[in-house]
């Protein structure tokens, strides 16, 4: 998928504004520039940053309730998907919290938030922090059972989990729900026919 095609999808299917698109362009430039020195994203995906990282993250806006107070992105890395969601967000009262254990990536995130004037906060490793958010999202973070354990033990209740997963999503759900079941839905990914978006309500 070429960059102009992705931008067209962002505008038409996901309602990103022209202003948001410009910020996304600035954001991708910052990621690619920093990637020369530090491994924020896999070098092999640099040429597909718009489809592999931006659109993959952006599709989550369909499932985020922006009237909530806050969203936590666990293991955000270079800010995918958290910063993409914040760039889309139009509600000034909605707050994005980025959890990242790498000091190098945290430094990059703080600089990017300042440069792009975003309403987001950078925090450290989830084991050292309190997770106080209505929505928890993650992409390429941990196995589903680990994410559910984290959200049960250190996150406030109730909250919604939005997780990007590969083709084994249903298997991971079955394994995770052996002891306790939660209401969930599987949605198709816009970027990969085999991938799924897992939506779980934790109460």
**Domain membership flag for residue 34:** no
* pLDDT higher than 90, residue 167: no
Within a 10 A sphere around the Cβ of 167, how many other Cβ atoms? 12
Within a 10 A sphere around the Cβ of 21, how many other Cβ atoms? 15
Instruction: Output the six-digit token pair for 129.
Output: 């922090």
Instruction: Output the six-digit token pair for 165.
Output: 């997963």
Lateral strand order in the sheet of 159-165: 120-123, 95-99, 70-74, 135-139, 159-165, 196-202, 184-188
Instruction: Kindly state the average pLDDT of the residues 113-133.
Output: 92
The better pLDDT of the pair 80, 203 is held by 80
**Domain membership flag for residue 27:** no
* pLDDT higher than 80, residue 140: no
Number of domains in the chain: 1
**Domain membership flag for residue 112:** yes
Least confident window among 13-22, 88-97, 124-133: 124-133
**What is the spatial distance between Cα 65 and Cα 85, in angstroms, rounded to a whole number?**
11
Per DSSP, 181 falls in state -
What is the reported pLDDT for 127?
82
Regarding pTM above 0.85, the answer is yes
Residue appearing with tokens 């779980």: 200
**Domain membership flag for residue 156:** yes
**What is the spatial distance between Cα 10 and Cα 64, in angstroms, rounded to a whole number?**
15
pLDDT in tens, 59-97: 999 999 999 999 999 999 999 999 999 999 999 999 999
Which residues, 6+ apart, have CB-to-CB distance to 84 below 8 Å?
Answer: 24, 27, 54, 57, 58
Mean pLDDT of the chain: 93
What is the reported pLDDT for 146?
87
Least confident window among 43-57, 101-115, 173-187: 173-187
* pLDDT higher than 90, residue 122: yes
CATH number of the domain to which 177 belongs: 3.40.50.150
Domain assignment of residue 132, given as a range? 58-202
């Amino acid at each position: 998928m070429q960059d102009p095609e992705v931008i067209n999808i962002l505008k038409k299917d996901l309602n990103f504004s022209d202003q948001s698109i410009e910020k996304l362009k600035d954001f991708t430039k910052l990621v690619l520039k920093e990637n020369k020195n530090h491994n924020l994203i896999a070098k092999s995906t640099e040429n597909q940053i718009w489809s592999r990282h931006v659109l993959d993250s952006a599709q989550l806006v369909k499932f985020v309730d922006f009237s909530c107070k806050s969203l936590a992105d666990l293991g955000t890395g270079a800010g995918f998907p958290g910063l993409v969601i914040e760039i889309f967000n139009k509600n000034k009262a909605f707050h994005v919290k980025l959890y990242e254990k790498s000091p190098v990536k945290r430094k990059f995130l703080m600089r990017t938030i300042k440069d792009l004037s975003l309403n987001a906060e950078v925090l450290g490793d989830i084991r050292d922090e309190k997770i106080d958010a209505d929505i928890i999202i993650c992409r390429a973070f941990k196995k589903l059972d680990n994410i559910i354990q984290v959200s049960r033990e250190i996150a406030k209740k109730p909250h919604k989990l939005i997780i990007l997963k590969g083709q084994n999503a249903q298997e991971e759900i079955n394994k995770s729900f052996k002891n306790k079941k939660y209401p969930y839905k599987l949605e198709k990914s816009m970027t990969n026919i085999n991938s799924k978006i897992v939506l779980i309500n934790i109460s």
